[in-house]
Amino acid sequence: MLNLVYPFVGMTFRIFNCWTILLTMFVILMLLIINKNPKKTVGAPPGPKGYPVLGVLPYLMKFPERKMAEWSSQHGSIIMVKIGLTDVVVLGSSSAAHAAFVKNTHLSDRPQDGLEIFAGGKGLLFINASDFHTEQRRFCLSALREFGMGKKTLEPKILDCAAMLCDHIISVCGNYDSTGPIQIEELVYITMSSVISHLVFGHDTLQENDDLRRLLLRTVEPNKFNALAGVLMFIPSLKNIPPFSITTSRAVQFREGLHHHIRIEIDRHRASRDPNQPRDLIDNVITFLCSKSRRKNVGSFTEEQLVPLVRDLFMAGTDTSSTTITWAILFLASFPDVQGRIHEEIDTIIEYNQRPSISFEDKMPYVRAVLQETFRLRPPLPLSVPHVAHCNTSLMGYRIPKGAIILTNTWGIQNNPKLWPEPEKFKPERHIDEFGKFIKSPDVIPFNIGTRHCLGQQLAKMELFITLTSLCQRFRFTLPLGETPDLTGESTFILRPFPFHVIATKRH
Ligand code: HEM
Ligand SMILES: *[C@@H]1O[C@H](CO)[C@@H](O)[C@H](O)[C@H]1NC(C)=O
Ligand SMILES: *[C@@H]1O[C@H](CO)[C@@H](O)[C@H](O)[C@H]1NC(C)=O
């Protein structure tokens, strides 16, 4: 779903050439109207010069993260480029990310303009850093802990969701031992969304609500208007001019549709809740609101905040995890020896009729290595989520101007040949030491680091471990004879595989 946010310009250029021409014309036109001469900040990080007006936009047609990694290897781990009129800083090492997001506290705002889905300054994912953000984040974390992360309560739910996915695959098998070629992404997506659904709604909304499912699944498909949203992030002044106005109105439509469904859920919760026994995050917030309003101090939590908050948890938590599992399945099917080792480890640690558990994690270094290698090679958010500089500030000796967009080049860091020999190879063994122990790498940062790092990291890791283990315990994945799927994928905002077929065969 994050696809709607700023799928990078690439797709637009590749698929819709006429849009390219239109786009260029509009950008030039707008710039003539605005007639601002972009000034170069003295002492700013180095970087390649782009074209006048467009900056480096034309170089970012396909896999912007790869192009940016190339620039980082030439100019250093902090570079700055212009995309349209916007200064964009790209962080090319984990120490640069550390300097920016742990040591410096001024680089944690978010872009506000041009992201219609997140408009209104509410929610969590796309609000500026502030006391409001800190309070919301803290609240969500404690709610997540209460209903899942850290504690054991969510594990059975995740196991149920994983079992549901396995049962579904078995039902596809029918009377046979294997499924035949199937596309598995949508099944995985629904499973992953169902975990978050339980957490916030207390039940599986997507399974039960056809309208909502259709609304959400529609956004997973690439779409030319969504792709144009990428440009809007850097040049927001175009948002009311065709064809960008179409993107804007579609985003508004999507947001309103989603908000509508969430409001219905909230009303149902109000009617059926027991103040002493909150069932999920929504109950928790309502209880909190009621107790606060009695004290005439509502704090940062209001009804208008609850809807976008739920929206953001949902949007941030579903696509990322489901894309990761989809990549893992594709890699396992493509590399049978890796899959053999994962089966061996699972069969050694877990009885065939026993359910997996996160408590087995320490005994299963190979599963963890496969997940870390999947994250390394194909991070779901190759350029993380953009940050914005709150004020003029300095970073590792360079000046960063107020308003600059800061991107962590997660893919670039994780595929840097200086850190990773043969970075393009899928080799889980690189994450296992000589004693057979898993090595947690500080240079694999799919969740980013610092004050705005992924709030759902723990939950996501638990989901991924349990889902992958459950799938591999019960199935062997293979590619249909003669099919060699593309392992590079398509990089929009999310780096996802192109649709592919796998065959799942029962193991027991
Ligand atoms: C494979 C799974 C996931 C990946 C790779 C991932 C990655 C990320 C990244 C890169 C960010 C931006 C960090 C930054 O700006 O510095 C982020 C933010 C966030 N993620 Fe995740 N995420 C995943 C799963 C989840 C899940 C399951 C949830 C649900 C609870 C979640 C909730 C959030 C939220 C709320 C934010 C915004 C935090 C903020 O702006 O303060 N994510 N995630
Ligand atoms: C930020 O720095 C620029 C020069 O790089 C200067 O023109 C501007 O006034 C500064 N802004 C603030 C708010 O200090
Ligand atoms: C967020 O911060 C930026 C500066 O970093 C500012 O320009 C913008 O107006 C702020 N947005 C909101 C909604 O506070």
CATH number at residue 483: 1.10.630.10
In a domain, 105, yes or no: yes
| Residue 402 Cα: closest atom of ligand 2 | 1
* pLDDT band per the 50, 70, 90 thresholds, residue 15: very low
Determine the distance separating the centroid of ligand 2 and the alpha carbon of 39, expressed in angstroms.
11
Residue 452: CB within 6 Å of ligand 1? yes
Q: Which pLDDT score is estimated for 31? A: 64
In a domain, 4, yes or no: no
Domain tally, the chain? 1
Q: Which residue has the higher pLDDT, 292 or 179?
A: 179
**Protein residue with least CA distance to atom 5, ligand 2:** 41
Ligand at shortest distance from the CA of 410? 1
In a domain, 243, yes or no: yes
Q: Which pLDDT score is estimated for 221? A: 65
How far apart are the C-alpha atoms of 71 and 448, rounded to whole Å? 21
Q: Which pLDDT score is estimated for 10? A: 39
Residue 340 has pLDDT above 80, yes or no: yes
Residue 310: CB within 6 Å of ligand 1? no
Determine the distance separating the centroid of ligand 3 and the alpha carbon of 112, expressed in angstroms.
7
In a domain, 458, yes or no: yes
In a domain, 96, yes or no: yes
Q: Which pLDDT score is estimated for 101? A: 97
Scored b (16 or more CB within 10 A) or e, 384-418 reads bbbbbbbeebebbebebbeebbbbbbbbbbbbbee
* 166 labelled ligand-binding: no
**Protein residue with least CA distance to atom 10, ligand 3:** 128
Residue (of 413, 406, 414) closest to 389 by Cα position: 406
Residue 401: CB within 6 Å of ligand 1? no
| Residue 388 Cα: closest atom of ligand 3 | 5
Over residues 123-137, mean pLDDT: 92
Looking at the chain, the whole-number percentage of residues with pLDDT higher than 90 is: 56
What's phi and psi for 54, nearest 5 deg?
-85, -20
In a domain, 37, yes or no: no
Label residue 367 exposed, middle or buried (CB < 10 Å: 0-12, 13-18, 19+). Answer: buried
- Domain span at residue 422? 47-506
In a domain, 305, yes or no: yes
Determine the distance separating the centroid of ligand 3 and the alpha carbon of 179, expressed in angstroms.
51
**Protein residue with least CA distance to atom 3, ligand 2:** 401
Q: Which residues have any ligand 2 atom within 6 Å of their CB?
A: 41, 392, 401-402
Ligand at shortest distance from the CA of 119? 3
In a domain, 34, yes or no: no
Residue 481 has pLDDT above 90, yes or no: yes
Ligand at shortest distance from the CA of 43? 2
